[in-house]
Amino acid sequence: MLHTARAVAILLALSVAGITAAFLSLVDGVSSLGVLVSFLVAGAATYLLSFITLEFFIFREINHIHEVLHKLKKKDLSFLQEASAKDTRNPLRRINQEIFNFAGLKQREIEELKRMADFRREFLADVSHELKTPIFAAQGYIYTLLDGAADDEAVRTRFLQKAANSLDGLDVLVQDLLMLSQLETKQIRMYYSYFNLAELIRAVFDQMEGKAESQGIALRLPADFPEQLWVWADKQRIQQVITNLTSNAIKYSNDSPEGGGWVEAQVREEGDRIRVLIKDNGRGIPAEHLNRIFERFYRVEKSRAKVSGGTGLGLAIVKHILEAHKSQIDVQSEVGKGSVFSFRLKKRKDKRSRSQQTELAE
């Protein structure tokens, strides 16, 4: 580009110097030395001016466009920050920046679309796989019955029960999926109210007592567990969060090495928040899985979880509900020792009047 600028500048300089010298030679009284000097001065001045203008204002910008196009081809978007940071009065450079920004934006959109397409493909594969399992199981029992097993009354009842269980599992899966997609697209609103969190935790524990007992797990509350603890949240959704966490703690506790598994709920005041902790002494979660268990369909041990009937959606739902409460789920876990899942909720402000207690938030 430097050569092009120089060549154009030399051509312009020669033309301007030639024309100037030609005019001067027509004027009476101008010596040939004067004509030569004016030829040289006009040529040098024109050369310098045109070279600087072409090189710094035009060719350099065109060079820049080439560089950016090259980077775009290589999917290197680092130039975006550089371009937007520069504030210039040069109109050509401003136009360039606009073009760069636009091209970069489009490139990012393309990347995002590709990422979404991959995500959709993966999600579809996971959903079909999860749906297939209970459908195949129910189908198997029903066809066996149709093939003659229905004649034996004991077999009939057992197989029908198994088919019904598979379809119940399918129902839970579809409900969970529906809820997750509604939470993600923000179609589910949180209906905030003040409620007694201590009472809610006791109710969930009462409800799950039977399931825990059948697996030899003790559900317990500390001796100083409060009677009243008012928080500001969507009661139904928080009940679901506590239920999912407790159900996991029970489910993944049953092969606790010490036997005598337990699940404990604790509450702690942290400023204007209440922290709820669900602890267990179960198998624990290896560190490398800890930040992935909140992804949908993610299970630590696929085959083992399959026996317990989990689909890997519970924690994804928990995470979304808490995010909608502008809170988050935290986890600490040690393999063979147990896990602690915890989250925080807004405490009730005492000054607030009872009439304001229930309102639609957001």
Instruction: List residues near Mg ion by CB under 5 A.
Output: 248, 314
Instruction: Mark out the alpha helices in the chain (DSSP H runs).
Output: 2-26, 32-52, 60-73, 79-85, 91-146, 153-184, 197-214, 235-251, 302-308, 314-324
Least Cβ distance, residue 253 to ligand ATP (angstroms)? 7
Burial bucket for residue 223 (CB in 10 Å: 0-12, 13-18, 19+)? exposed
Contact 261, 218 (CB under 8 A): yes
Rounded to a whole number of angstroms, the minimum distance from the CB of residue 209 to ligand ATP is 18
Nearer to ligand ATP, 50 or 253 (CB): 253
Closest to ligand ATP by CB, 209 vs 269, is 209
Q: Which residues, numbered 163-192, are part of the site for ligand ATP (CB under 6 A)?
A: 176
Find the binder of ligand ATP among 80, 274, 293, 329 (CB under 6 A). 293
Nearer to Mg ion, 142 or 313 (CB): 313
What is the distance, to the nearest Å, from the Cα of residue 171 to the centroid of all Cα atoms in its chain?
27
When binding is defined by CB under 6 A, the residue of 314, 325, 347, 348 that contacts ligand ATP is 314
Q: Are 99 and 65 in contact (CB under 8 A)?
A: yes
Rule CB under 6 A: choose which of 339, 342, 343, 345 binds ligand ATP.
339
One residue of 312, 322, 345, 348 binding ligand ATP per CB under 6 A: 312
Cβ(24)–Cβ(35) under 8 Å?
yes
Sign of the alpha-carbon dihedral angle for 344, 243, 318, 310: positive
CA distances 295 to 105, 276, 291, 313, 317, Å, are: 28, 22, 8, 8, 9
- Report the residue from 248, 281, 327, 342 that binds ligand ATP according to the rule CB under 6 A: 248
Interatomic CA distance for residues 239 and 231, integer angstroms: 13
Residue 282 interacts with ligand ATP (CB under 6 A): yes or no: yes
Closer to ligand ATP by Cβ: residue 104 or 314 = 314
241 binds ligand ATP, rule: CB under 6 A: no
Contact set for ligand ATP, span 191-230 (CB under 6 A): none
Q: Is 10 exposed, middle or buried (0-12, 13-18, 19+ CB in 10 A)?
A: middle
| 311, 322, 343, 345: residue in contact with ligand ATP (rule CB under 6 A) | 311
Q: Which of 249, 265, 321, 329 binds ligand ATP (CB under 6 A)?
A: 249
The least CB distance from residue 357 to ligand ATP, in Å, is 32
130 binds, among Mg ion, ligand ATP, none (CB under 5 to 8 A by kind): none
Please name which of 40, 54, 51, 65 lies closest in space to residue 10, comparing C-alpha atoms: 51
- Residue 300 binds to ligand ATP (criterion: CB under 6 A): yes
Give the integer Cα–Cα distance in Å for 170 and 174: 6
We find the least distance from the C-beta atom of residue 139 to ligand ATP, in angstroms, to be 22
As to burial, measured by CB atoms within 10 angstroms (0-12 exposed, 13-18 middle, 19+ buried), residue 162 is: middle
Would you call 163 helix, strand, or coil by DSSP?
Answer: helix
Q: Binding of ligand ATP at residue 243 (CB under 6 A)? A: no
**Residue whose CB is less far from ligand ATP, 87 or 288:** 288
Query: Which residue is it, tokens 């975006």?
Result: 80
Interacting stretch for ligand ATP, rule CB under 6 A, among 28-36, 112-120, 312-320, 345-353? 312-320
Q: Which of 16, 24, 315, 329 binds ligand ATP (CB under 6 A)?
A: 315
**Spatial separation of the C-alpha atoms in residues 118 and 263, rounded to whole Å:** 39
Positions in the binding site for ligand ATP (CB under 6 A)? 176, 244, 248-249, 251-252, 280, 282-285, 293, 298-301, 305, 310-316, 339
